[in-house]
Amino acid sequence: MSYLSEGKLADFIEEKIKELIGKGNILIVVPPFYDIRSLALGPYVLQAVAKQKGYKVDVLHLDLLLAAIIGVKDYQQVHDSPDFWMLGERVFARIAYDLPALGKASESAEDPFWAISDTPNAVLSVAPEESIPQEKLLKIEEVCYQLMRHAARVIGQFQYEVIGVSLGFCNQINATVAFINQVKQHLPQCTTIIGGSYCEGEKAKGLFSLSKHIDYVFEGESEGTFVQFLSDVFEKTPPTEKLIKATEAVALEKMPLADYTAYEKQVRVMLGDTFYEKNIFAVWYETNRGCWWAEKAKCSFCGIAEIGFRQKSIEQIRTDLKEIRRQVPGKLVFFTDLIMSQEFPKKMLEYRDDMDEIPVMGMQMRVARNIEEVANLREIKAKFILPGVESFSTKLLKKLKKGTTGKQNIYFLRNTRSFGIFTQYFLLWGLPDDEHQDYQQLLDLIPLIIHLQPPRTFVGMRIGRDSPYFDQPAKHNIENLRYWEVYKDIFPSYTDWESIANYYIGDYKNYAHYNLPLIQELDRAVTHWKNTWQNAKLHMEVLGGQCVIYDFRQVPGIGTAIHPITYAQAQEIMLYKIYKPSPTLDWALKNKLGILMDGWFVPLVTAAPELLVKFDQEAKSNTSQNSISHYQSYKIT
């Protein structure tokens, strides 16, 4: 590992920054360690909003610049490290507060019993993590130190009147403070501001305790308050209150579209054309705000503060999507929405004639309950889905207030696999009042669903600020709620830790943390699932006038199997329904082609989308179509 010498580093930083900024009198910075594989949408929306009122805002990605210096691999290794290591905060602790390099007790950063709390509940993962040697981290820390010094010096040459930082996540706080402290040395007269999704509630107030150079913090939605703030500052009547709160909900319909080509230029200049083409496969777009499900029953672990739900019209969304496709052709458009509105797919389908002009989409959503809903997703080109799965235990899902069940989650994954829709979800362990059966059920289930998309990760539950676990701990049998100990290692002694902290731990009864061997066995099973699912197969094909099920899952006791069946048998096996004993269903259960859960038969066999739709429609109309000759052999891709 070799980085640029200080002299060459200073020249490199100056060259890149001067190529990208200097046209406006307002600057918004994206600090490390934001995920360089995705767009930070907020600064570009503010840029567009300000432009409507005649203000010129420059955006600068210090996250991309750091990645260009230390390399994408090293940057991502820090970014992807476990949250409680707080490496993104540690490498900026010295430049931000004159703390020791890597903060205090850096040698214990990877120990959850030190960094979180000395309690069994502190274990959040049983998967082996790749350590980053202290020597390497110290070299990265030195680069971070010099980056802030030289970036502030170069920016100081442009005489910006307002300089803001977009603070979206943990692991960006110390970089934010370090940058503001440094830039004030070169531009003491400039007004410094912080905004972003981390600036909610008490956390927004807590930021002021970190530096006297933070002039203002924007709490919550800031598109409206930002423009008014600029007007006040440039008219020499700045606000007297340092915490700028949203006065009213922003009208999304009137929100201008971000300049995606400006983001593209930043990536190409900092990391090159190849990185942009191969690593930036999606950009962000916002269709709604709030969470309509949280207005009914907020998920127990959800720490998102915003609840009130509103959305753009379908006409506006279609217009925006077409423009995004024109600006950045070939890129997936992923919605920033906390949850997709239930009626969105059907409303989009009212304009199905121009779907060719719409880019491929990705979105967060509740688990779809039936074939029709999944079919609609495919038809509107929603090919990447983040569903709220979290567990296959109906009991735990009820405790989490997910509004779904174990059987619905499995049925949904069967359907998305059949329709070629990519899903990304998590499975949680270590929940209050969990039991052995919750995990044994999953261990028994994995070999049967190994052909379906696996979770992104199997991870211990964390308590986040603003979640029901945080706001109502007694209701969930949680005692002694306290912030993670690591905050004392990465922030100075004068910090308002109670306000700034985002992650907490409490004492509560649970099975998983006291029976880690079973959780470790499950983690190995999930890892095997992730490594093999794309080659596993449990699929029905139509060959001539017969249905054939190919089972290549290698389920213990079954191995490889090929089952020729009649159309009537296929109809019965492929439907999700209340279980009533029958020779066909009992045969399917014996051969692990479906499972019983909560009194329902849940089919596990995938098939061509058209065939699943046909079975579903026939079941609804109680008709049986014996002719299937027009179906061709269908392969999963």
Residue range 529-575, pLDDT digits in tens: 999 999 999 999 998 878 999 999 999 999 999 999 999 999 999 99
Give pLDDT, residue 403. 85
Position 513 pLDDT exceeds 70? yes
- Measured distance CA(17)–CA(11) in Å, rounded: 10
- Measured distance CA(370)–CA(381) in Å, rounded: 18
The residue written with tokens 């008219």 in the block is 235
The separation between CA 176 and the C-alpha centre of its own chain, rounded to angstroms, equals 21
Give pLDDT, residue 310. 73
Ranges of each domain in the chain: 6-81+132-253, 281-424, 538-621
Give the type of residue at 578: I
- Measured distance CA(584)–CA(569) in Å, rounded: 6
* Residue 192 three-state SS: strand
- Measured distance CA(136)–CA(106) in Å, rounded: 13
The residue written with tokens 């567990």 in the block is 391
The separation between CA 291 and the C-alpha centre of its own chain, rounded to angstroms, equals 15
Please list, residue by residue across 531-545, b when 16 or more beta carbons sit within 10 angstroms of its beta carbon and e when fewer do. eebeebbbbbbbeee
Q: Does residue 84 have a cis peptide bond before it, meaning omega lies within 30 degrees of 0?
A: no
Q: Is the pTM of this model over 0.85?
A: yes
Write the pLDDT tens digit of every residue in 440-489. Answer: 999 999 999 999 999 999 999 999 998 889 998 999 999 999 999 999 99
- Measured distance CA(498)–CA(372) in Å, rounded: 47
Mean pLDDT of 177-185: 98
- Residue 343: exposed, middle, or buried by beta-carbon count in 10 A (0-12, 13-18, 19+)? exposed
Give pLDDT, residue 326. 96
- Measured distance CA(613)–CA(370) in Å, rounded: 10
What DSSP designation does 452 have?
S
Angle between helices 62-70 and 72-79 (to 10 degrees): 120
Average pLDDT, the chain: 91
Q: How many Cβ atoms from other residues are within 10 Å of residue 198's Cβ?
A: 19
Mean pLDDT of 582-611: 97
Could you tell me which CATH class the domain 6-81+132-253 is placed in? alpha beta
- Measured distance CA(364)–CA(389) in Å, rounded: 11
Write the pLDDT tens digit of every residue in 31-87. Answer: 999 999 999 999 999 999 999 999 999 999 999 999 999 999 999 999 999 999 999
* Residue 474 three-state SS: helix
CA dihedral 483, 487, 493, 498 (to 10 degrees): -30
- Kindly indicate the confidence band of residue 305, based on its pLDDT and cuts at 50, 70 and 90: low
Give pLDDT, residue 627. 43
* Residue 534 three-state SS: coil
- Kindly indicate the confidence band of residue 400, based on its pLDDT and cuts at 50, 70 and 90: confident
Give pLDDT, residue 343. 83
Position 330 pLDDT exceeds 80? yes
Give pLDDT, residue 291. 55
| CATH 3.20.20.70 for the 281-424 domain, yes or no | yes
- Measured distance CA(283)–CA(100) in Å, rounded: 37
- Kindly indicate the confidence band of residue 399, based on its pLDDT and cuts at 50, 70 and 90: confident
Give pLDDT, residue 354. 83
